[in-house]
């Protein structure tokens, strides 16, 4: 693959084997790569060499950030200046957003995160650092059920947040009360919540003067108690 130095678009589909963690990833030798889409049977673990792809703009689908992905320091070479899209990402046990985002994705517009059930962190601990993504326009959170982040912990100018629960399980029931925290994100214009027919543990009740600029509020495939 290192011979394809001019390659700009790469999609990996089912049937392709992921490189072992102790082997160099040939994808990291493609200096002109702009789009990488991974559609494999298991999560694609991003290797440390991903930071060499300075032209990368879109990194999508089944991705996993591990402790080996994280740069050892904050020197200038460990960043992706062109990255606009990073989704859908699972963080390996022990990895949090604050350990990877600080100053490394200056142009990031879309971010999708999926909760790792094996994580020893709380959801809030895992999401710490989101506020560093000053240019984020769309945030997607999958299988997070205990969102109690304060408004100041979200990017201050973010206009759209999507929350999705993929699995129909009693263990994933959540409380609607988390919406009140989002109601204080003053620039939020679009909020979508999808939950596969589940009921929240409480009734849907929004605080007065919440969501001052909300234009679209979409509840999909979920029950609402009266």
Q: What is the pLDDT of residues 195-211, one digit of tens each?
A: 765 555 556 777 788 89
Q: How many angstroms from the chain centroid is the CA of residue 89?
A: 5
Residue 35 has a pLDDT of 97
Task: Work out whether the CA dihedral 38, 169, 92, 42 comes out positive or negative.
Answer: negative
**Domain ranges, ordered by start, for the chain:** 9-223
Residue 224 has a pLDDT of 59
Of 65, 113, 62, 108, nearest to 85 by C-alpha is 108
d(CA 139, CA 160): 6
Could you check whether the bond before residue 59 is cis, i.e. omega within 30 degrees of 0?
no
d(CA 48, CA 71): 7
Task: Give yes or no for a contact between 113 and 142, defined as CB atoms under 8 angstroms apart.
Answer: yes
As a whole-number percent, the residues of the chain with pLDDT over 90 amount to 32
pLDDT at 100 exceeding the cut of 90: no
- 21 band by pLDDT with thresholds 50, 70 and 90: low
Domain 9-223 falls under CATH 3.80.10: yes
């Amino acid at each position: 693959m290192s011979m394809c130095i001019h390659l700009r678009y790469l999609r990996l589909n089912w049937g392709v084997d992921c490189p072992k963690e102790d082997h160099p990833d040939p994808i990291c030798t493609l200096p002109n790569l702009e789009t990488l889409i991974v559609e494999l049977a298991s999560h694609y673990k991003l290797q440390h060499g991903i930071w060499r792809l300075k032209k990368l703009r879109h990194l999508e689908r089944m991705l996993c950030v591990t402790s080996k992905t994280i740069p050892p320091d904050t020197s200038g070479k460990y960043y992706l200046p062109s990255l606009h899209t990073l989704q859908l990402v699972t963080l390996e046990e022990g990895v949090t957003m604050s350990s990877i985002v600080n100053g490394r994705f200056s142009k990031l517009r879309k971010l999708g995160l999926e909760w790792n059930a094996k994580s020893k962190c709380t959801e809030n601990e895992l999401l710490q650092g989101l506020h560093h993504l000053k240019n984020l326009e769309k945030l997607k959170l999958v299988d997070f059920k205990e969102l109690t982040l304060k408004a100041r912990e979200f990017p201050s100018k973010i206009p759209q947040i999507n929350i999705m629960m993929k699995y129909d399980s009693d263990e994933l029931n959540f409380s609607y009360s988390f919406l009140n925290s989002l109601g204080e994100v003053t620039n939020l214009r679009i909020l979508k919540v999808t939950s596969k027919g589940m009921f929240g543990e409480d009734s849907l009740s929004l605080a007065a003067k919440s969501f001052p600029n909300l234009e679209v509020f979409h509840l999909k495939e979920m029950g609402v108690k009266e």
